[in-house]
Structure formats: C-alpha cells, structure tokens
A = this chain, B = another copy of it.
Amino acid sequence: MSIIVTKFGGTSLATSERVRAAAERLVAYHNEGKQVVAVVSAMGAATDELLALAKSVNPSPPARELDMLLATGEQVSMSVVAMAVEALGVPAMSLTGRQAGILTSKAHNKATISELKCDRVQKALDGGHIVIVAGFQGTTLEGELTTLGRGGSDTSAVALAAALAADVCEIYSDVDGIYTCDPRVVPRAHKLDEVSYEEMLELAAAGSGVLQMRAIEFARNFKVKLHCRSAFSSANGTLVKEETMEQAVVSGIAFDKSEAKVTIRNVPDALGIAGELFGAIATANINVDMIVQNISEHGHTDISFTVPIGDLTKIKTVLDGLLDKLGIREYVVDDTIAKVSIVGAGMKSNPGIAAKMFTVLAKNGVNISMISTSAIRISVVIDEPSVESAVLALHTAFGLDADEVFEETQLSDEELAAKAKKGR
C-alpha cells in the first residue's frame, strides 16, 4: 500500500478551522486508499509563547528542561489534529517522537536523528489509522526527551518518509512553493515546478527560508521526494527531487540581509594565522559564511568574512582578544551589506555565468565587494540598498521573468501577515 507523509507547519495549524482543513486533507488521502502519516509543528505562535514563559522564571533556562517544555507544543498539535481526524469518522492515532521511534543524539535543543524504529507507526497504519506524529522531538536511548532545534519538524517528516519508504513527503506551509525569487521584491518571479536537491540546498544556504537545510540534506541522502505546497490551496507546489527534467542555467535567485561583513586589515601573511583566527571564531560558536583573502602585499594581507548580524557582539569579543596575539592592528565591521546568490544546476555545463552576473551588476551600478562560488552557485556581497535593483536585473537577465506579474492581492490578509512575519 502506498504511504504518504505530510508535514504541517505552525501557521497551517494556527486555528481550529485550519486544523480541521488539515484533517480533511489527511482523510481525503486516506479515502484514496493511501496510508497517511502527518508530522505536525506547534500551533501558531505556541513555541514563542512557551519560550517567553520559560524566560519569565529563568533568563537562561537549562537545555533539558527547555526541551521538556517546548515538546508540549507539538504534543498539543498532534492530539488536536488526531481529534479533528476522528471527528471526520476516520481512526487516528497521535504519537510523540518517542512513541514514533525517533531516536536522537543526546544534544538537548539541537539533537540529530540517529535512528528510526517505525514498527509502532507501521502497525498503526496497518490497523487503518491515520498517524499523527509530533515533529521537532525525539528521545535518546536512555529515554530523555530531546528536540531537533528550530525547523526540526521538516527533518522529522523527511526522516519518517525515508524510514517508511513513502512515495512523497508533502511540506504544507503558508508559502505555495519555491519561487525564482521573493515575489515581494521581484513581481515577475514565478513558482518553480521542480528543483533539484542540490539547487534547493544552495538556495536555502543563500537565504531562501522555505525549507530547513538539514531536512533537504536528509531528503537528498535518502532520496525522499519533497513537495512544498500551500496549506491554503489545492494547487501543486514545487517538487524537490534528485534530477529535474531540464537543468536551468539559473533556477533561482536568493538574497540575505541578515549578515555583516568583517574586514581585518594588515594581517601578517604567516602560516597558521588564518587557522588560528577561524579556529577561535568557531570555538565561540559563530557561524562564518563567506571568506575572502586578498592578495598579499609586503607580507601583509586583508581578510574579509561574513557572520550573522546577531553574532556581532561575540565576534568583537573574539577579535579584541586576538589583536595582540596575531599582530592585528584593526578590523572594520559593516552591517549594511547583503548577499545575492544565483543558483542553477545547469551552471556546471555552462561557462561564463559568473562573468555574465558581474557584467549585469556593473551595468546596473551595483558594486561587488566579495565573491564566492560553488559548482552550482555564485554569491556576491553588495551594499544592502542595491539589493532590489540587483535581483530585478539578474532575474530579467537570466530569463526568469514570468509573463504575469505576481499580485500580493491574490493572497489573504493572513497569508500576507504570515509572510511578512517570517520572511519568505
């Protein structure tokens, strides 16, 4: 019997009405003869509310207890969705992460899935139940409750889909698929019918927030076909799978305003300096994205790198502590930058894409301050105020413009509010 795994995000379950709508979808699949699993996130803003409650009694809540608390959000969702399914006359069974056999590492708040023991899920499916699993949570072998970190429900869903050999893993959210670019910035952006795992990974890394990176990696490693679609419409969304029919030179354009650029001037060009510098930064748990080192002059060089704006205080502490040790005289921080990336699997076989990108930007008066590339992505750092003109020009130049103009008015007020809140 064919198995389908679905995942519903918090916005898709924010009200009783939406819970009922989700239940109707599940029942429809059940009535088509499919075995149906739903992985659910916490309803609406539940996780944020629980976090606020924690902070009200302890400014730095211990990781283990935070997991115990946050896991209740998904436990509420799963039972409410199960009740809504039962109200439609179909047997349902909710399962916690532990009951669903989701075994994880011991790292509270950021556990990784180590193994899935799906006998109980499979037994419930074989018994005719729609199975609702709490996303985002699991258990250690010792019976300790863990959570997978923000966005972890996507990973729960993909892992279950892999373990159950599901036909597809449908990710329902408040966006209706993967777009060539954010339609609020590029009105002629269009929805992609399909995109490869590699492209999706690069888009996610470049700032497109639709799917969590770990989930995409999991899907790629276990060849789980993903379908990103809207919980508010029955239209098809975007398929994420191994090979796409046509390999577009550029599939999508992503931008990211959440990073700052740090430039260290006149670093002595000695062996081991870069290792020591980025080692210290990694130890402070700061995630460095792009790194560029300029040509050495007179035994000294400039090193630039980007970090999340939220980590600027931490990075300053690290660098101030290293100044003397590494012979660094000064560093400059710029938080008015943005990263623009073009991604496409077809780049591999099409030389000259980078040159074309730089030319387009130059013609539009956009100055490039950093460049980094992978096999299927080119990213540049530019001034933040230039982002809009840059992505509009690139979108047109790489032939991504749709005939129709995206109308925000097609969306409901709630969808717009949800988009505005979480970014796209």
Chain A positions near chain B (C-beta within 8 angstroms):
16, 19-20, 23, 50, 53-54, 56-59, 61-62, 64-66, 68-69, 71-72, 75-76, 78-80, 82-84, 86-87, 92-94, 96, 99, 143, 145
Please determine whether A62 and B82 come into contact, CB atoms closer than 8 angstroms: yes
Please name the residue on chain B nearest to A93 by beta carbon: B64
Contacts of A78 in B (CB 8 A): 68
User: How far is the CB of A420 from the nearest CB of chain B, in Å?
Assistant: 26
User: How far is the CB of A103 from the nearest CB of chain B, in Å?
Assistant: 14
What CA separation (Å) do A76 and B52 show in the bound complex?
12
Please determine whether A86 and B62 come into contact, CB atoms closer than 8 angstroms: yes
Please determine whether B57 and A16 come into contact, CB atoms closer than 8 angstroms: yes
Contacts of A68 in B (CB 8 A): 75, 78-79, 82, 94, 96
- Interface SS of A by simple majority: helix
What CA separation (Å) do A93 and B67 show in the bound complex?
12
What CA separation (Å) do A287 and B179 show in the bound complex?
62
Contacts of A20 in B (CB 8 A): 57
Residue picked from A58, A72, A87, A99, most chain B C-beta under 10 Å: A58
Please name the residue on chain B nearest to A76 by beta carbon: B72
Please determine whether A58 and B75 come into contact, CB atoms closer than 8 angstroms: no
Please determine whether B71 and A83 come into contact, CB atoms closer than 8 angstroms: no
Contacts of A93 in B (CB 8 A): 64
Option from B76, B82, B99 in Cβ contact (under 8 Å) with A143: B99
Please name the residue on chain B nearest to A88 by beta carbon: B58
Known: A65-B92, A94-B68. A53 touches B86 (CB 8 A): no
Option from B50, B65, B75 in Cβ contact (under 8 Å) with A86: B65
User: How far is the CB of A34 from the nearest CB of chain B, in Å?
Assistant: 22
Option from B57, B66, B80, B87 in Cβ contact (under 8 Å) with A87: B57
Please determine whether A69 and B76 come into contact, CB atoms closer than 8 angstroms: yes
Option from B66, B76, B94 in Cβ contact (under 8 Å) with A79: B66
Please determine whether B80 and A69 come into contact, CB atoms closer than 8 angstroms: yes
User: How far is the CB of A90 from the nearest CB of chain B, in Å?
Assistant: 12
Contacts of A87 in B (CB 8 A): 57-59
What CA separation (Å) do A19 and B53 show in the bound complex?
11
A selection of 24 A-B contacts at a CB cut-off of 8 Å is A16-B56, A23-B57, A54-B83, A57-B84, A57-B87, A58-B83, A58-B86, A58-B87, A59-B87, A61-B83, A61-B86, A62-B82, A65-B83, A65-B86, A66-B79, A68-B78, A69-B76, A69-B79, A69-B80, A71-B75, A72-B76, A75-B75, A96-B145, A99-B143
